[in-house]
Amino acid sequence: AEGIVASIAATTGADGRPITPGKTTLVDLAAYTVKRHEPVCMAYRAFWICGAPPPAGGITVASVMGILERFDLAEFGPTAIDGEGGKPTVQGVHLVSEAERLAYADRDKYVADPDFVPLPGCSADALLGKRYLRGRAALIDPHRSMGTAVAGNLGGALLGVVPQTEHGTNHFSIVDAQGNAVSATTSVEASMGSFHMTHGFLLNNQLTDFSATPVDARGQSVANRVEPGKRPRSSMAPTLVFRKGADGSIGDFLMATGSPGGGAIPQYVVKTLVGVLDWGLDAQQSAGLVDFGASNSPVTTLGGEHPHINTTNDGASDPLVQGLKALGHRISLRAQPSGVNTILRTRTGDVDRLEGGTDPRREGVVLGDTVRP
């Protein structure tokens, strides 16, 4: 291990090559500490949803789901359901996208490395409180898109917001014979990371996950600004779902899911969770369902690579596209890079089984003791 660490420092610092040298030293690597944080968990209907805490994206997923709990999403499930999840409805996409705008607005303002920028109230409770999310949900007009949301007023230090782009990752979900479940998302930030490699490891380029500017146009500090020793904000959102126990506590494991996809990861995870928990889709249907959602901008994305979306003449003949436009959404039909991988625990009679689903948009695969490539 010491040899690998020394090689990392030597590789990043090597000059005279076409790859820009880095500044990482052995002293930096020696000072790095692995920190264990408790997951962010939220009760949602008959389930508990648990995800990665700040600076990762689990709090964004939880915020979206907490807002959506105020709506009867089952009423707005996909139509003509097939192996690819069917056709999403206008109101289903509208409600989910509006909830995401609100959650992304809060994330962009408040979420960063909590060791440097504490969350309001110094915990996730303020952002995920039932009363607060009820107020956020009340901002959603079922007949009109809000376009761009404003972050909630949670007091504390004045923080600014600047636009930020994020890139790709990988995800895997595993459940073993004893029922232990893992949902893991990894990243080198972008394809090939920093382009430095040592001992088979591609070194990451995560510095670009910080805000490139420390203050916004009004001179207010940005929570995700660069600081020494700080961890950058990430959209990665590996997620575990459990059934509620009889006493309302976390019960039996139900689902492991997650996705690559940069800043859109929370949208892909939310789509999958809603697909299973509200719309009754199976693991494969929810992974293959049309990608849809929004960050905090007037643009709502519909994955134009999906066969259920008619992209001809910019969706002029697609009822979902036109229905959303009638509600004020600006639609992007850009192909989506999601890579959802899901394991779902199902029960038939007294028999439990594990069901896998993988996103057809990438090269994922489902494997198990009864499944072979």
pLDDT of residue 370: 64
**CA dihedral sign of residues 82, 257, 122, 161:** negative
Distance CA 243, CA 47 (A): 4
Give me the active site residues, please.
Answer: 169
pLDDT of residue 373: 46
Which among 233, 218, 210 has a CA at the least distance from the CA of 110?
Answer: 233
pLDDT of residue 323: 99
End-to-end CA distance of the chain: 34
- Cβ neighbours of 125 (radius 10 Å): 12
Beta strands in the chain (DSSP E): 40-44, 47-51, 170-175, 181-186, 197-198, 201-202, 239-244, 250-257, 292-293, 299-302, 330-332, 341-348, 351-358
Give bridge partners of residue 87 from the DSSP assignment: 79
Calculate the alpha carbon distances from 154 to 31, 41, 151, 325 in Å: 34, 20, 9, 32
Distance CA 290, CA 281 (A): 13
pLDDT of residue 2: 66
List the chain pLDDT tens, one digit each, 373 residues.
567 777 777 777 665 566 677 777 888 888 888 899 999 999 999 999 999 999 999 999 999 999 999 999 999 999 999 999 999 999 999 999 999 999 999 999 999 999 999 999 999 999 999 999 999 999 999 999 999 999 999 976 556 665 656 555 789 999 998 899 999 998 877 777 777 777 777 777 888 888 888 888 888 888 999 999 999 999 999 999 999 999 999 999 999 999 999 999 999 999 999 999 999 999 999 999 999 999 999 999 999 999 999 999 999 999 999 999 999 999 999 999 999 999 999 988 888 899 999 999 998 889 887 655 4
| CATH fold for the domain made of 39-358 | Glutamine Phosphoribosylpyrophosphate, subunit 1, domain 1 (3.60.20)
Q: State which amino acid sits at residue 220.
A: Q
- Return the domain boundaries, the chain: 1-34, 39-358
Put the strands of the sheet holding 40-44 in their side by side order: 40-44, 47-51, 239-244, 250-257, 341-348, 351-358
pLDDT of residue 101: 99
3-state secondary structure (DSSP) of residue 239: strand
pLDDT of residue 23: 77
pLDDT of residue 290: 98
